[in-house]
Amino acid sequence: MDRGTFLSELGEDFIDFADILRPYKSLENISEKLYDLCGKLQRRDFIGYKVEDIIIVFDELEKFPKKLSHHNSAIDLILKFNIKLEIDYDNLINGNDPFNNFSFNIVITGRNKNNQNSKLSYAIHFDRHNLKEERESIEKRKGRKPLQPHPVYHFQFGGNELKDKEIDHGQALFLDSPRIMHHPMELILGIDFILSNFFPRIWDKIKGERRYKKILKKYQKYFIQPYFQSIANSFDSALTQNWNAQEIYPQLIR
């Protein structure tokens, strides 16, 4: 398959995915973004895109949050996410780590009905660590490596989305660590992550659809299988690691 054919199929998958989500009112914005992105892909000669401000409004039926904070007082909850990535096509087809860059942010905001001045915020940040920048930093520090493990693909709670806002943190404590290893997700896998974790009622309805499963399986094979296979293969020196297992799992003992 050449790059042009891959982009064409990716656009078709976006349309199919949008068609599956469109019947759900709270997912209309996602469908619109997918339709729009499909047209832009056809005019590019590289695999990369940036999608901002995708919005999902929480339905009362979701009953979120449940047993966590503000479970009786949170109202007007909105989830907003954005994703930016660039993929090396040759690496993708050969089963190697395909991402040149990757960033995926999820922010949930709302209000406390018992305190009109209280703005509720929750954030998760996923990204690809800049290894080149880290190596340059190590050279400047005369070979001294950072003590904290830094998986090349990881997520963190909080991040700048909360740091840069004037939020009364109360008894909540947010730290720069840990950076928790996690496989990377392009847009389709990212949407599935959001639906399965934050909108389980909708996800439960669509996850059994044949078209949905077919599309998910396709992109899991591209981006998730080689990630975990590389870690598994690292336990046998005779096996090939297409992705650098030590970079995606720094605690791995070799």
How confident is the model over 158-209, as pLDDT tens digits? 766 666 566 666 667 677 767 889 999 999 999 999 999 999 889 999 999 9
Distance CA 102, CA 15 (A): 22
Q: CA geometry: angle at 198 spanning 195 and 202, to 5°?
A: 45
Residue 209 CA to its chain's centroid (Å): 22
pLDDT mean over 3-11: 88
Distance CA 54, CA 17 (A): 15
Distance CA 79, CA 116 (A): 19
Beta-bridged to residue 78, according to DSSP, are: 57, 109
Distance CA 228, CA 225 (A): 6
Helix residue spans in 141-224 (DSSP H)? 160-163, 187-198, 200-206, 210-223
Looking at residue 106, its pLDDT comes to: 94
Phi-psi region of 11 (alpha: psi -120 to 50; beta: other; left: phi over 0): alpha
Give residue limits of the domains in the chain.
3-248
How confident is the model over 112-158, as pLDDT tens digits? 888 877 788 888 999 998 766 555 554 555 666 656 678 999 998 87
Distance CA 191, CA 212 (A): 12
Looking at residue 159, its pLDDT comes to: 62
Q: Which residues contact 52 (CB under 8 A, 6 or more apart)?
A: 82
In this prediction the pTM is 0.88
